[in-house]
Chain A
Amino acid sequence: MNRREFAAGALLALALRPAAGLATPEDQAAAIRAFTGGVVPREGRVELDIPPLVENGNVVPLKVTVASPMTTADHVTAIALFNEKNPQPQVVTARFGPRAGRAELATHMRLATSQFITAVAAMSDGSFWSTRQEVIVTLAACIES
């Protein structure tokens, strides 16, 4: 991994930053429609464990768990995670089969700013389920470069 360049003249405070434009809640909704093929997911069955308040949006731990027997006849086929205000609405899409045993996914994501995160599960019966959580990203006071 390359070492990050040290830039002189850093400020005590800078807002969290992507230079390019951010996605919008509409972008998130469109990305979810693309994932579900236009079906509106139902509330429930999906649990999204993500801290409500994060000290730094660069690394935000999260875990998605879906209630499913994970049998050949009845299992989760995919879990997708969407954000509202990062540069792009997609976060991760994980594909599952019955051999996963449990419908669980944990990862570390980035959050450009405070926003709602939505987790959507696709089931083998063609149904979609979802949940969402608000995450507040505090502004870092001391950043490098």
Chain B
Amino acid sequence: MLSSARWWLALALLATPAWAEGDAARGRAIVTTRQKGLCLLCHSGPFPEERFQGNLAPSLAGAGRRWDAAALRARLTDSQGLNPDSIMPSYGVANSLRDVAPAFRGKPILTEAEIEDVVAFLLTLTADE
């Protein structure tokens, strides 16, 4: 069950219009790095220079056509708020997690600004593979 706080967070994310503009180039760097974004461990995508892409999750190709900024932001920020069974980490959520290592405690995986960068980049992925 979703906690009501997370439900409201998810709703608010979908509804809130005003966000600082993200930087697509920085977003691409976050998506392709395996230290920070970790995206390509699970997803594949149109990154010919990245040799080893995971297949746990759908390709990111076409993500910018399938979803708008608000939907991408919501999925990145709290994927598990939208679907509790998702294995995609909620990149913007730092509380409600269990046994987090001290170095990461109280911190989301990505900051709000980094999430905006990734959103800006994913919006550029309009072509299918």
Contacts and interface: CB of A to CB of B under 8 A. Distances in A.
Contacts of B104: 9
A1 B41 CA distance: 33
Contacts of B38: 12-13
Interface string A1-22: 0000000110111110000000
A141 B55 CA distance: 13
Nearest to A14: B35
B48 interface: no
B101 A9 contact: yes
Contacts of B52: 138-139
A141 B56 CA distance: 13
Given A138-B52, A139-B34, A139-B52, A12 B103 contact: no
Contacts of A14: 34-35
B40 to A, nearest CB: 9
Nearest to B34: A13
Q: Interface majority SS on A: helix, strand, loop or mixed?
A: loop
Q: Interface majority SS on B: helix, strand, loop or mixed?
A: loop
Given A138-B52, A139-B52, A9 B34 contact: no
B91 to A, nearest CB: 14
Contacts of A141: 34, 41, 54
Contact of A8 (B34, B51, B54, B102): B102
A99 B35 CA distance: 51
A136 B52 CA distance: 11
A14 B102 CA distance: 20
B101 A12 contact: no
Interface in B78-112: 101-104
A9 B35 contact: no
A115 B21 CA distance: 40
A15 B34 CA distance: 8
A79 B76 CA distance: 54
Interface of A: 8-9, 11-15, 114, 136, 138-139, 141
Closest 10 CB pairs of A and B: A9-B103, A13-B34, A139-B52, A138-B52, A11-B35, A13-B41, A141-B41, A12-B38, A9-B101, A13-B38
26 contacts: A8-B101, A8-B102, A8-B103, A9-B101, A9-B102, A9-B103, A9-B104, A11-B35, A12-B41, A13-B34, A13-B35, A13-B38, A13-B41, A14-B34, A14-B35, A15-B34, A15-B35, A114-B51, A136-B51, A138-B51, A138-B52, A139-B34, A139-B51, A139-B52, A141-B41, A141-B54
